[in-house]
Each structure stands twice: as C-alpha cells, then as structure tokens.
Chain A
Amino acid sequence: MKTATQNVRSLAAIGLALIAAAALTLLASGAHAQVSKDLESLGSNRDVNKRAARLESRSRVAIVQNRTVKRNWRPEIGIQYAPVAYGDSYLQTQNVGLNADLHFTPKFSVGVRYSKAYNNLTNEGKAQYDRAQDADNSGSTDYSIPDVDVPQETILGVVNWYMMYGKINFFDASVIQFDIYSLAGGGQVQLKSGPTSTWTAGGGIGFWLNQHMTSRLRLKTWRSLKKIA
C-alpha cells in the first residue's frame, strides 16, 4: 500500500527527472549552437599559423601507381605508317613498316625499324613531268626533268630513351599512361640509285593502352648520307 509520503516522493522524483531532461535538452541545443563557434575558433590563432607555416613539412605525400605495362625485358612489336613531310618537293612518300623493340628497363629500349616506301609525284612534280612530256611530243628539247632518287625501303636500328611519363584522363572513360621519349639511330636506305647509309633522330609519345596494346606518335628526321658526285 502506498503512503502519502511515498506519493510525495514519487512526484518529487518525476519533477526532478523533468528538470534534468529539460536541462539536458538545453545543454544539447546549446552544444549544437556552439559547433559553428568552435569550428570558427579552430586554427584561428594567426601567430600559431605563421609559426607552423614557417616549418618545413615533415611528411611527403605522393601517389604511387604501377605501370600499366611492365617493361623490364619486355618485347614490343608493331606496325607503322609514316608519311614524309618536308622531303623532296616533287615526291610524296609514305612508309609502311614493322617495328620490333626490346625494353631493357622502363627507361630504355632498342629497336629495329623496317619500312617500305610508296612514292608518288606531287602536283608540282607531275606538272613538271607533263610539261617535259608535252615539249618532247612537240619536238622541242628545251625542257628539264627533275632528278628524283626515290627511297624504296629502309632498315634502321634505334635506341629509345623514355625520359618523362604522365597520364591523361581519356574523356572520363579511363586513364591512360604515356611516355615522352627521344630516339636516335642509324641504318641503311635503299634508294632507286642504290643503297646508302642513313641516320635518324626524333621524339615521340607512347601511349600504353593496356597490357597488349600501345600506340605511338613519333616525329623524326632522317638524312641519307649518299654523296652527290
């Protein structure tokens, strides 16, 4: 049986509980309102910030990723198509060929390049020949024919140095790694008039698309070493 004293105690206990709950609620809402103030004060001491900024950072952060294609003692074969720019003004040459490379390390490789040349006269060359043909048909000897020595095939040995690397975001579809490289080499070019030595130098970008496919854009110059008699 409850007594009057017990009832009073019960009411007092409920009252205290309500006061405590209200106090907790107030504390909670006060704490919420405090967050932006606390956040504002965080790191706001200019003197400290200046002092910290003067220090050398004690950590170094970088992103390290594996190469798409491992290139220690890795062979690479490929086909090439190379139109010739800034060559003989009467001749338009396009080379189609095969490449074979051996990568010693990711930085260096040696390779062999074989290319077969497909030659056509440029508009200027064709006009020159047409004028000579017309003059010859009309019995005139007052014409000249350009002395064009066309390349037929070339074989080169090259050394490639992959001096820089990077990666590109390929239309947000994938990330492709690439190397910027330079090359130098020498070999032999078979001209119509006979074989002669040649050298080459240049540079390019190699894109490593996946483990089994690469793509290269290369710009190179080559000179035949045939002496003009």
Chain B
Amino acid sequence: MAIAEKDRVRMSIGRIRYETGDFDGAIAAYAKVTRGGGSYLTAAEETAWAEFRRDRPEAAIAKLQTVTSPAFKDVTTSEPWFLLGLAQLRVCDFKALFKTIDDFKGRYGEKVKKLESAKTVASKAELEEIGQSVQKLNIVEAEAIQLLYLDENGKPRKGSAPAIAKDSEQLSFPQVEGDEFWLDELEGFRVTLKGCARKGPSQVATKGGSK
C-alpha cells in the first residue's frame, strides 16, 4: 500500500476515534501519519484538537507551534489560529492570546485584502474560511476581555510558568520570535503552563470550536 494511502487510512482511524471520544486513540493514530507527507499538517492540527479535548491545552499549544509556523503559511488554513487562541484562553494566558491575535492579523491582513479583490470561486471559499476564523477569534477575544477585567480586577497577574523539563540527553532552545524558523525544530515544541484559578472560560469558549 502506498504511503499516501496508508496515511489516509490512519487519518480515518484517527477521526473515527475522535468522533467516539477516544482522544488518546486518535492521537496515537495521527502520530503514525508520515512526517512530511501530504496529510502531515492536517494530522498535526487534528492532534491539537484531540489534545485540547483531552484537557491538555499545553500539548495543543505545543503542536500548534508547528502548524502555525511560518514554514507552512501557504499551506495551512486559518483555523489552527483560532484553536491556539482558544487554548491560550483556556489557561488564561491573555498575553500570549493577544500576541496570537496580532500574529494572526499579520499573517492574514494582506491576504484578506487580496482575496476580497479577487472574484474567483476559490478565493471566495478561502475568504469565507478565514472569515469564520476571524469570527471565532472575535468571540475568544470578547471572552478574554471579560475575564481580563472581571477576574484580574485591574491587578497585574503574577506567576510565570514552570521551567521546561528535559533530561540530560536533550537540548532546549528558546523559540525564535518573528518569521525565522528552523526546520529541524518543527516537532520539538514543548510548553509548560500556569493555568487559571478556575476553569470557567473553557466551557464557554469550546462552543466556538468547529470540531
């Protein structure tokens, strides 16, 4: 069986498991998809969804660092940005969330203008997809603003995330800001979190998810 065919089967298994609520099983199936193959990015994105639904937002955020990498800016859809924002809202990382929104605007600002001026069916479809992500991010932002003002009560929030854990045979490197990326790092992202005091936002925000 060809690699693409095998990957299609693995994706199907992953999706069936996801639909039945077997998120660990789905993640295991997606992990078998060939790295660098045609289904790789979709598998990574759907893995992030499964991690998020599995209540592991840090794993979802880590996976989405790969999916939203500038390396794939021409081949990924806009929805992973919404999931990234949603996961950041889940853990009350408002600073990171607003940076995600900024990065999203930077990535899609010019593209949306071009798509709006183009009149092809394909451009309209893509514009619609981006528009849906914008709407969902708007909901995430509104939720974040509410929490930011109500929960924080105007006081700066203290407490950074724990250090990244690694063993002696591993190296850790800081994430590079901007559009610079190292191709060998794409599957190596690791995230630690200092979560919310309460889990309120996730229940509200998850309704905006498309999965």
Q: A: which residues have CB within 8 A of B? A: 28, 31-36, 38-43, 45, 48-49, 51-67, 70-72, 105-107, 165, 167, 169, 175, 177
Contacts and interface: CB of A to CB of B under 8 A. Distances in A.
A38 B135 contact: yes
A61 B189 contact: yes
Given A51-B152, A61-B175, A35 B168 contact: no
A48 B145 contact: yes
A57 B95 contact: yes
A169 B132 CA distance: 38
A63 to B, nearest CB: 4
B172 A42 contact: no
Query: What is the predominant secondary structure among interface residues of chain A facing chain B?
Result: mixed
A67 B170 contact: yes
Nearest to B164: A62
B190 interface: yes
Interface residues of B, number: 68
Contacts of B190: 61-64
13 contacts: A38-B138, A39-B109, A42-B137, A52-B95, A55-B157, A56-B160, A57-B95, A59-B93, A60-B192, A61-B61, A62-B164, A65-B172, A167-B171
B33 interface: no
Interface in B157-211: 157-164, 166, 168-175, 182, 184-185, 188-195
B157 A56 contact: yes
A63 B188 contact: yes
B191 A61 contact: yes
B44 interface: no
Given A48-B148, A51-B148, A64 B156 contact: no
A209 to B, nearest CB: 15
B65 to A, nearest CB: 6
B131 A59 contact: no
Q: Which residue of B62, B104, B134, B149 has the most chain A CB atoms within 10 A of its CB atom?
A: B134
Given A61-B175, A61-B190, A64-B188, A55 B95 contact: yes
Contact of B170 (A51, A66, A169): A66
